[in-house]
């Protein structure tokens, strides 16, 4: 089991990428920093594709289990998401 509390930005992104791949979801996982906040972006690989509701739920569980949040520490609620093509999560 991996301790996600001590991971840096690069390690967390790689860990999320591995977990999503093991879940059988084809996605692009990348890291970026904006206004001093470390973000992890999960996006579909195709230009016009969308994540299925089942994939969205799996991404939500993976992000929550790794203590990621939405902006300003808001809880992750994929069902209320307006963009099923991309999700952005904040590192703790």
Whether 16 and 67 have beta carbons less than 8 Å apart is answered as no
Q: Given pLDDT bands bounded at 50, 70 and 90, which one contains residue 3?
A: low
Q: Which of 2, 8, 45, 78 is nearest to 89 (CA)?
A: 78
For residue 42, which of 7, 57, 92 has the smallest C-alpha distance?
A: 57
Task: Show the tokens assigned to 82.
Answer: 């307006």
Each residue's pLDDT tens digit, 54-81: 999 899 999 999 999 888 788 887 677 7
> How many CB atoms within 10 Å of residue 71?
11
> 85, exposed or middle or buried, with CB in 10 Å at 0-12, 13-18, 19+?
middle
Stated pTM of the model:
0.84
pLDDT tens readout for residues 18-54: 999 999 999 999 999 999 999 999 999 988 889 998 9
Domain boundaries, the chain: 4-90
């Amino acid at each position: 089991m991996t301790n996600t509390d001590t991971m840096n930005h690069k390690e967390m992104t790689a860990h999320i990428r591995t977990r999503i791949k093991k879940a059988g979801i084809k996605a692009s996982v990348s890291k970026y920093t904006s206004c001093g906040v470390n973000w992890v972006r999960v996006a579909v690989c195709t230009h016009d594709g969308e994540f299925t509701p089942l994939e969205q739920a799996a991404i939500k569980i993976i992000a929550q289990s790794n203590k990621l949040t939405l902006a300003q520490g808001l809880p992750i609620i994929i069902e209320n998401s307006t963009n099923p093509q991309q999700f952005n999560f904040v590192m703790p």
